[in-house]
Structure 1
Amino acid sequence: MFWLSPLPAEDLFTLAGPEGRHAATVRRLRPGEPVDVTDGQGRVLECEVVAVRRDEIDCAVRQRADAVAPRPRVVIVQALAKGDRGERAVEMLTEVGVDEIVPWSAGRSVVRWEGERGVRARERWARTATEAAKQSHRLHWPVVGELVGPGELARRVSAATLAVALHEQAELPLVGLVRSQLPGVAARDGAAAEILLVVGPEGGLADAEVAALRHAGAVVARLGPTVLRTSTAGVVAASVVLAELGRWDGPA
């Protein structure tokens, strides 16, 4: 899968720049091979390679498709994590199909995004999401949001149709929760419905954070009998929710 925006109206076009170079020199595509080109917003051109040069390829459009954005939207608020765990979470969350990933500076997050370091870190998350979207052949690419703190997180929770904070000591299980809430979700916001899942850092959610999330309207739920790393908890939670929504039955 390659990216181009806006997609050309012509049925014969050249894929150049970094994408064309990757197609020609890394993927080593040859005339006659199929290639898909998307704008990351649901539109895709199913093409055939007709010519290859050093840094670009010529593509003939065989079919055009426009996938409807899946609803409700699934948003993961991912606490900052040390090392490459944050980027690993972004990669897997993109692959499973979430619609937005919001970095969150939690109270127990060891890593802090400040100044230029924070800008570069968010750019890495965005690049990771882009590469994962292409690798997994997603037609709707996820948004990597701006870093949020307690105040903005509370606002996102309050605005969501359904918000769930993941906590290993919660009594309510996540499995089945979304399915039971679907009629209310659809009735309240319809096509604009949004399900938001909050994932804590390595040390877990602080008691004050749990209280603040509850106050903002979040349901506190557990994934299962084991405690997962922050880099995998969101992926597992998203998988449960997306399966219950039936989102894995169609295009991403």
Structure 2
Amino acid sequence: MISRFHFPGRLPDGGEVALPDDLAHHALRVLRLRDGEPLVLFDGEGGEVEARLAVRGKAGFAVLGERRPFDRESPLRAVLVQALAAGDKMDWVVQKAVELGVAAIQPVQAERSVLRLAGERADKRRAHWQQVAVSACEQSGRNRIPEVAPIQPLLQWLAAARGQAAWVLAPGGGDGLPAGERPEGVVHVLVGPEGGWTEGELAACDAAGVRRMTLGPRVLRTETAGLAALAVLQARWGDF
């Protein structure tokens, strides 16, 4: 497969661009690409650009070809509202949700979240997750990068999301997966933390018009549940 890279900043129409140091290091030192090898670059503005690698000493450049208007975005505009999870689970969720075509990821702080983030730590983790999303786009062929939004408390998010199409995963209660025509606009899927939602949080979801949804008789882990729901919704309303 031809290597794909996200280029920070708008790619010009034709000509040559210098590869940023981290991108050049990955291409030359990690992947060991050679001078003249083909590349695909994308800048997140839609489409992708065929290019050729030009190596000069330790520096890398890309000789640009045509921008191809490939758009691999799903017609389902799904936002994963994921309660913070500990360890590397959030990395896994972000990576796989992007592969599954999610439009955006909204991390939320839940009462039972083991991971607690605020201030500079929250900003650093968000930046890390955004880079995970970029890498997942490089691998999966997406040319538009989903945003990982700033962390919000669940109740704050609910207050701003009233009236929008949203389902909260609630094992042991709620309806099955939604049927009928795809809703207009964005669809939100809420996933709780390792310890699950509290009754108070579920009541707040009810009050905000978020519908409860179950994925069957088995209880799925937080890093599994949202991805399973996204996959089924993509099959029902998306491009699977």
Output the CA distance in 1 between the equivalents of 2:42 and 2:154: 36
How far the C-alpha of 1:107 sits from its partner, in A, is 1.1
Kindly provide the CA deviation profile for residues 22-63 of structure 1, in whole angstroms up to 9, marking residues without a partner as x. Answer: 222222222443211001232211223355642313324145
Matched, 1:208 2:200: yes
1:3 is aligned to 2:6: yes
Note the 1:126-205 alignment, pairs <5 A: 126-160=130-164, 162-174=165-177, 177=178, 179-182=179-182, 185-186=183-184, 193-205=185-197
Question: Given the two structures, how large is their TM-score scaled by the length of structure 1?
Answer: 0.85
Shift of 1:15: 2.7
3-state DSSP of counterpart to 1:56: strand
Q: Secondary structure at the match of 1:30?
A: coil
Instruction: Mark the runs of 5 or more structure 2 residues left unpaired by the alignment.
Output: none
- Identity, in percent, stands at 33
SS of corresponding position for 2:59: coil
Against the structure 1 CA distance between its residues 121 and 12, is the aligned structure 2 distance closer, same or farther, given a 3 Å change threshold? closer
Distance in 2 (CA, whole Å) between partners of 1:101 and 1:204 is 19
Alignment of 1:103-114 (within 5 A): 103-114=107-118
What is the CA–CA distance in structure 2 between the aligned matches of 1:52 and 1:28, rounded to whole Å? 14
Query: How many angstroms does 1:229 deviate by?
Result: 0.9
Structure 2 residue identity aligned to 1:204:
G
Q: What is aligned with 1:247? A: 239
Aligned to 1:227: 219
Listed one character per residue, the Cα deviations across residues 180-212 of structure 1 (whole Å, up to 9, x for unaligned) are 142xx23xxxxxx00000000111111111111
Secondary structure (helix, strand or coil) at the match of 1:90 reads helix
Equivalent in 223, 226, 229 of residue 237 of structure 1: 229
Conservation of the 8 A alpha-carbon contact between 2:13 and 2:64: no
Structure having the higher helix fraction is 1
* SS state at 2:69 partner: strand
| AA at the equivalent of 1:232 | T
C-alpha contact 1:89 1:231 (8 A) present in aligned 2: yes
Q: CA deviation at 1:156?
A: 4.3
- Which amino acid is the alignment partner of residue 120 of structure 2? E
Name the TM-score, length of structure 2 as normaliser. 0.89
Matched-pair contact (CA < 8 Å) for 2:163–2:208 = no
CA change 1:64–1:152 in 2 (3 A) is same
**What is the CA RMSD across the aligned residues, in angstroms?**
2.1
Structure 1: give runs of 5+ residues left out of the alignment: 187-192
State the distance in 1 between where 2:225 and 2:92 align. 12
Q: Which runs of 4+ in 1 moved over 6 A?
A: none
2:194/2:221 contact within 8 Å kept: yes
8 A contact 1:12–1:61 mirrored in 2: no
Corresponding residue pairs, total: 236
What residue identity is the alignment partner of 2:53?
Answer: V
- Alpha-carbon distance in structure 2 between the residues aligned to 1:120 and 1:62: 36
Aligned with residue 124 of structure 1, among 110, 121, 128: 128
Pairing partner for 2:53 from 49, 74, 78: 49
Residues 223, 157 of structure 1: alpha-carbon distance in 2 compared, 3 angstrom cutoff: farther
* CA gap 1:111/1:34 in 2 versus in 1, 3 angstroms: same
Q: Deviations over 1:48-91 (max 9, x none)?
A: 33556423133241452252854341100110111111222111
